Amino acid sequence: MGDEAVVILRNVSKAYVVGREKFMVLLNVSAEFYRGEMVGIHGPSGAGKTTLLRIIAGLERPDTGTVIVSGYDLGTLDEAGLSLLRNNIISYIPQDYGLVEDFTVQENVEMPLLIGGVRREVRKERVAEALSYVGMQGKERVKVRYLSGGEKQRVAIARALVTTPSVLLADEPTANLDYENAMRVAGVLKGISRDFGTAVIIVTHDQRILDLMDRCYTLIDGVLRPVSPPEALP
């Protein structure tokens, strides 16, 4: 594991106002995530896990606090700057995969490179590499809507991987998968942290994959706390 902090959160707070009521979702969240590690965040439904990932991805802004990703202070960037970062440095896989169902596997995985203005031949090569990494080669021409849940998740990972991001965020990537598929998806994510030095941050309730994490946090009522590694327990 490297000692380069790729994501730094300092006193990040966020509230939602619904009608006249204000709900605190994140309370002074501070943490650092390093190059090449896979970190799990778990906690009860409604604890703010998705909100936290979306804030790290630059899809939402915190009310207060600082988010630094790969040296960029997200609070100083405008929407164009955040889009650029999302297309090059940060990959976010939402809980519902975020794929375009009527597009083929190839078209979905190619999209970040098209947006990034990458040449056609290079796009083809990089898509092939990403699909082969997740074990989805040969499915290029299939429309995403015909894939199984496990296959969709792996295509979503390929799309996230195709830009070789510094940070990969995955929201409940194994939630709807059987044991075999869950372990396969978690194994691919672990491989990405090792092979590409990506900081992989995973929101999960899934006890089956927690053992694969280098570290874990719990998020309860908006408060993020590190979980002691098992070997530190008496």
Binds ligand ATP (CB under 6 A): choice among 11, 16, 81, 178: 16
The answer to the question of residue 207 lying near ligand ATP (CB under 6 A) is no
Write out the residues near Mg ion by the rule CB under 5 A.
50
Residues 6+ apart with CB under 8 A from 197: 2, 35, 36, 166
For residue 82, the minimal CB distance to ligand ATP (Å) is: 18
By the 8 A CB rule, do 209 and 177 touch?
no
Would you say 25 or 170 has its CB closer to ligand ATP? Answer: 25
The answer to the question of residue 48 lying near ligand ATP (CB under 6 A) is yes
For residue 195, the minimal CB distance to Mg ion (Å) is: 27
What's the 3-state SS for 68-84?
Answer: EECCEEHHHCCHHHHHH
Alpha helices in 89-148 (DSSP H): 105-115, 120-133
**Among Mg ion, ligand ATP, none, what does residue 199 contact (CB within 5–8 Å per kind)?**
none
Q: Count Cβ atoms below 10 Å from residue 161 Cβ, excluding itself.
A: 27
The answer to the question of residue 46 lying near ligand ATP (CB under 6 A) is yes
Residue 15 tokens read as 């509230």
Amino acid letter for position 39: V
Piece in contact with ligand ATP (CB under 6 A), picked from 28-36, 45-53, 103-111, 158-166: 45-53
Strands 167-171 vs 223-227: parallel, antiparallel or unpaired: unpaired
For residue 48, the minimal CB distance to ligand ATP (Å) is: 4
For residue 93, the minimal CB distance to Mg ion (Å) is: 12
The answer to the question of residue 25 lying near ligand ATP (CB under 6 A) is yes
Would you say 48 or 112 has its CB closer to ligand ATP? Answer: 48
95: nearest Cα among 49, 139, 140, 137: 49
The answer to the question of residue 106 lying near ligand ATP (CB under 6 A) is no
Binds ligand ATP (CB under 6 A): choice among 22, 45, 102, 121: 45
Q: Provide φ and ψ at 143, rounded to 5°.
A: -70, 140
